Structure 1
Amino acid sequence: MNRRYFLQGMGGILAGGVVPNLTQAQSSHRLGIAKDLFHANARLTPLRGYQGQDVSCDQAWIEGTIPTDLRGDFFRNGPGLFERGGQRYHHWFDGDGMVHAWRFSERSVSHQARFVRTKKFIAEQQAGEFLVPAFGTAIRPKIPLRSSDTMNTANTNVIKLDGRLYALWEGGSAHAMDSQNLETRELVTWAPELAGMPFSAHPKVEPDGTMWNFGTMMGKLILYKISKQGKLLQHHVMNAPSSAMVHDFVISQNHLIFMFSPISLNIDAVRSGQSMVDSMEWKGQESTKVLLIEKDDFSRTTMLELPAMMLFHFGNAWEEDQTIRLDFVKSTDLGNFKEWMPKMMQGQDIQHGESTPAFLHIDLRTKRVRITQRTEVVEFPRVDPRYVGRRNRFLFYPVATESAEYRTLNGVMRLDLQTGKTEQFDFADRMRLEEHVVVPKAGAAREGEAWLVGVGFDVQRQTSFASVFDAENLSAGPVALAHLPYWTPHCFHGNFYPTSSI
């Protein structure tokens, strides 16, 4: 493994020593109008972010009844701090990571949230200003950029392996945390030769506990296979199609499957002072590459092509009769990423491009690919965790219902892949929802015999809540809402760990 190659490639740009030539105007974005807009727009309160404080609530107010078999820890992670020293990040993805623990016990539901004490967070809190460039905000570095971990925000996902908690960010190392008090421990090195390597925020965990993950940078793909005890079993570095952003992947019984959207990075734009996001260019005339890698032999690969499309998240994949079937959420291009999210960070609630369910059938014999689509506006697909990499019937999403202003996620939906039918619950414009995860009921035998657990923001109360639905009866509405006395910044991803597995 050529570690130096990766560190230079971390942007070839930042860790490698190419410092953007920023003007004062480019490196400072004053609050002014954004602050006023947030005060006027109660729907976007969570995107104001915190100032670095940790929060906790010993006992949430319960509306309804928490199921007696729903016991465990629901960990979430997302960007929680967006402003320092009179500057505000331009992009949602830039904020410092804040890990949340919603603990479901016999006594109550409690909440605790702590910022991940990354090197970046500690240094910038002490300085009272931004010190390093961010993914979507051009900032002149004020400390040495020794590797991608100098900029690591640990803000995208949180997983648990063998009792240890990991905060994830796809551009660098995982951060180990204490699962009981959420204290940050250290950067994780899976093997000496992997120190500082990219480790994606979307690992896939098979029903037996085996975890697969990847990292990508500058045309290279690194693969990880990790045991349920958190031990590295195998790793591999290979060439891959060039794409400036590969956020997620999916596994089937026998394959790792990646899709590379046609996104290039304009290095000259970075040098001239633009951020990584602003320097990304959509190549709509080029194809989306589909890469299949055999689990048993990483050297055995297949490359296929599709029309240009943008995607962030997959649901699941499985194979039968020499055909791989997988699903993902599709959008047209980089519009939401480069235009809607920055406007949202300035307090503007506007219509965004729609992201819809899409389905891929890959014939392994003929190498032909067929894609089908649906029209619901969704994101963050999840499946029953007992069916990851196996044939699944159901998919669960937050959904933008017809009543949602600006088509924001305000409901939950179950899609039956066998019948094509959906079941939904609509919170109308009062609630804005985050990702919801599937938690099998105690002793459950059927797929989807589970609770659907997630988090949302109550626009009227200006507080956050955890929601619990019966996954087989979403239209009946939540069986319980656990309300906090405060709002929390929106999260991206997380996972529920029942007491028996903790």
Structure 2
Amino acid sequence: MLSRRHLLLGGGLAAAGLARAGAAQPLPDAPYTGPFGTVPELQPLRGWLEGQDRLAEGLRVQGRIPAGLRGTLYRNGPGLFERGGQRYAHWFDGDGLLQAWRFGPQGVSHQARFVRTRKFELEQDAGEFLLPAFGTALRAKRPLRASDDVNTANTSVMLQGGKLYALWEGGSAYELDPDSLHTLGPKAWAPELKGMPFSAHPKRELQGPHAGTLWNFGTFMGKLALYQIGADGQLQRSAVLDLPGAPMVHDFAVTEHFIVFLLPPLALDREALKAGRSFVGAMRWQEGGANRVVVIDKADLSIKAQLEMPAELLFHIGNAWDDGQGVIRLDYVHTDHQRFLSGEFNRMLQGQASPELAASHPRLLQIDLIRRRVDIERRSEQVEFPQVDPRVVARRNRYVYYPEARAATWGHGALLSLDLARGLTERFDFGPGVMVEEQLLVPKPGTRREGQGWLVGTGFDSRRQKTFCTIFDAEAISAGPLATVWLPYWAPLGFHGHFAQTA
């Protein structure tokens, strides 16, 4: 096992923070010092400047919340972007804000608390940025000892073994109290794994021999850490494999027999890091390269196969399954690497302009391990944040659910269901001025068939300047929401969530 010190000294964020000052001309990853703009749909990206927690009870409900929908929608995302007159350049850099929408017999409440990471507490006391960030070129003003020193815990959230965790890309999961949302501290799954990266996209199986098992990974310095965690929240197995040439791996997939990674041809320009660029600013797309498909056998956590496919950047995978005969089927969302790496994406965090979304479309992948062949079906819908019924994770699924962009303005303003078996779609368009976030399928109690559930997710109405949460019948999306719950304020836009059902 590599020492935790190597996680820091290997480069990336820490190297950027220890580098000398950058170029004289402003770069897309330089901190922003101008005023925040007035574009209505971008106001939640202002963030909560004061860094305070919030609670709202007895929320207003339009329609009727289904009687069987009980539990908590946990959401995580960047919530604080500005300190000491400087703003982060990149959306991914803000400090993690955990939200809890609680659905109970007495109504709906909303609670939000910042994750009190070491970074958050240091910078909160100082009133300024002290540490480097993923997409903003900042010099470290405090010693960097490990990757958790820059952990923002801002990307996703999971509940396993009764414990709640805020997740990031490059460091430990942070444990929080599921009721109060108070931060308890970083989680070490085993002494030798303390401080190891634990990604923001764990996969939980609810069927088969691994029912209740949660799988996850972390990448660092050309290595891949794998985790298998039981339903009780205890680590069952772990492994560290060689995986060179993978500076950014955001998501992965599991099937009944395999773990699958799709690695785009990205490289890290260490000279750019030394010159003061951020981690994103130092990423370079390898023209003429290919995506690597890495397939790992669950039985012994060894690499079973490595194949190639056309080069595409991707962040999110919906689901994967295998037929037991060496064929894997997987869906993901392709994104435009040029838009992401150019810095144009950063304009939205200034609130000055509403850029068009980078092209992001569904891809349906078939991996034949026997014939060593990869086939891709491309679709044209403009989507992101794919979700499936949690009961079919790692098993054959028919439906994938997405927020969808329908108008020319920035953001996803519709909800889309894609039927993989028939190639058909069903959607609901919220209309102009509305931005829809990730939508989770919550199974209806007592049901077993895929899709029998509610889609629960959040959004922002720029005309009202308020955040809302909607509940749809997943089998009748076009009929519109069964209920809409309104906050009396807007909340910062987030990334990913988890719905914890209660009886």
Class of the TM-score when normalised by the shorter of the 2 chains: over 0.9
Paired with 1:30 and 1:17, the residues of 2 have a C-alpha distance of 17
When residues 4 and 108 of structure 1 are mapped into structure 2, their CA distance, relative to the original with a 3 A threshold, is closer
Structure 2 residue 254 is the aligned partner of structure 1 residue 254: no
**Secondary structure of the structure 2 residue equivalent to 1:360:** strand
CA gap of 1:280–1:28, structure 2 versus 1, over 3 A, is: closer
Structure 1 partner of 2:474: 471
**Mapping of residues 483-502 of structure 1, within 5 Å:** 483-500=486-503
Output the amino acid matched with 1:446.
Answer: R
Residue equivalent to 1:29: 31
Q: 1:342 to 1:70 in 2, by over 3 A?
A: same
The question of 1:124 aligning with 2:127 is answered: no
- The answer to whether the 8 A contact 2:465-2:490 is kept is yes
Counterpart of 2:220 (choices 210, 217, 220) is 217
User: Secondary structure of 2:409's partner?
Assistant: helix
1:164 aligned to 2:167?
A: no
Mapped to 1, the partners of 2:365 and 2:312 lie a distance apart of 13
Matched ranges for 1:98-109 at <5 A: 98-109=97-108
Residue 332 of structure 1: CA displacement? 3.5
Q: Which amino acid aligns with 1:311?
A: L
Matching residue's letter, 1:198: P
Q: Percent identity over the alignment?
A: 50
Q: Which of the numbers 363, 366, 373 marks the counterpart of 1:361?
A: 366
**Residue of structure 1 equivalent to 2:78:** 79
Give me the whole-angstrom Cα distance separating, in 1, the residues matched to 2:24 and 2:502: 52
Counterpart position of 1:399 = 404
Number of aligned positions between the proteins: 494
Name the SS for the 1:121 alignment partner.
helix
The superposition leaves residues 270-307 of structure 1 with CA deviations (integer Å, 9 ceiling, x where unpaired) of: 11111111111111311110000000012242000011
C-alpha spacing 1:65/1:241, structure 2 compared with 1 (3 Å) = same
Q: Is the 8 A contact 2:16 2:277 kept in 1?
A: no
For residues 15 and 118 of structure 1, what CA distance do their matches in structure 2 show?
21
| Residue 11 (structure 1) aligns with | 11
Closer/same/farther in 2, CA of residues 4 and 174 from structure 1, 3 Å limit = closer
Amino acid at match of 2:396: R
Deviations 1:229-271 (A, max 9, x none): 1101111001114122100000001000001111111111111
Match of 2:273, SS state, is helix
1:331 aligns with 2:335: yes
What are the Cα deviations for residues 399-435 of structure 1, in whole angstroms up to 9, with x where unaligned? 112xx23352001111111110000000111310110
Matched, 1:148 2:144: no
Give the Å deviation of 1:334.
4.0
* Residue pair 1:97, 1:153 contacting (<8 A) in 2 also: yes
| Corresponding letter in the other structure for 2:33 | L
Measure the CA separation in 2 of the matches of 1:241 and 1:475: 45
1:301 alignment partner, SS class: strand
Identify which of 433, 436, 456 aligns with 1:433. Answer: 436
Matches of 2:313 and 2:9 in 1, distance apart? 23
User: Contact 1:383–1:394 (CA<8 Å) still a contact in 2?
Assistant: yes
**Who is 1:444 aligned against?**
447
Any conservation in 2 of the 1:15–1:146 contact (CA below 8 Å)?
no
Which secondary structure state, in structure 2, belongs to the residue aligned with residue 14 of structure 1?
helix
Structure 1 CA distance for aligned equivalents of residues 474 and 452 of structure 2: 7
SS at match of 2:238: strand
- What is the TM-score with the length of structure 1 in the denominator? 0.95
Deviation at 1:24, TM superposition (A): 8.3
Report the AA paired with residue 428 of structure 1. G
**Secondary structure in structure 2 of the residue aligned to 1:202:** coil
1:460 alignment partner AA: R
Shift of 1:467: 0.7
Aligned mates of 2:17, 2:126 — CA distance in 1: 23
* Structure 1 position 367, deviation (Å): 1.2
TM-score, L = length of structure 2: 0.95
Q: Deviations over 1:191-226 (max 9, x none)?
A: 111111110000000002100000001211010000
Secondary structure in 2 aligned to 1:429? coil
| 2:321 counterpart residue number | 318
- 3-state secondary structure, aligned to 1:377: coil
Is the CA contact (8 Å cut-off) linking 1:352 and 1:407 kept in structure 2?
yes
Letter in 2 for 1:473: A
Partner secondary structure for residue 279 of structure 2:
coil
Bigger mean CA offset, 299-308 vs 391-400: 299-308
Does structure 2 retain, via aligned residues, the 8 Å contact 1:213–1:223?
yes
Cα shift at 1:496: 0.4
Partner residue in 1 for 2:394: 389
8 Å CA contact 2:16, 2:132 repeated in 1: no
**CA shift in 2, pair 1:30/1:17, >3 Å:** closer
Q: State whether residues 3 and 194 of structure 1, in contact with CA within 8 Å, keep that contact through their aligned partners in structure 2.
A: no
For the 8 Å contact 2:263–2:293, the answer to whether it is kept is yes
Aligned to 2:177: 178
Per-residue deviation, residues 156-175 of structure 1 (Å, max 9, x unmatched): 00100122100000100010
- Asked if the contact 1:9–1:16 (Cα under 8 Å) also holds between the matched residues in 2, the reply is no
**Using the alignment, how far apart are the partners of 1:247 and 1:187 within structure 2?**
20
C-alpha distance after superposition, 1:66-97 (max 9, x if no partner): 00000000000000000000000000000000
Q: Is the 2:252–2:259 Cα contact (8 Å) retained in structure 1? A: yes
- Distance in 1, matches of 2:57 and 2:24, equals 45
Distance 1:456 1:8 in 2: 37
Q: Distance in 2 between matches of 1:417 and 1:218?
A: 37
Unaligned runs of at least 5 residues, structure 1: none
Give the SS at the match of 1:216.
Answer: strand
Residue 126 of structure 1: how far off its partner (Å): 0.5
Residues 358, 373 of structure 1: 8 Å contact kept: yes
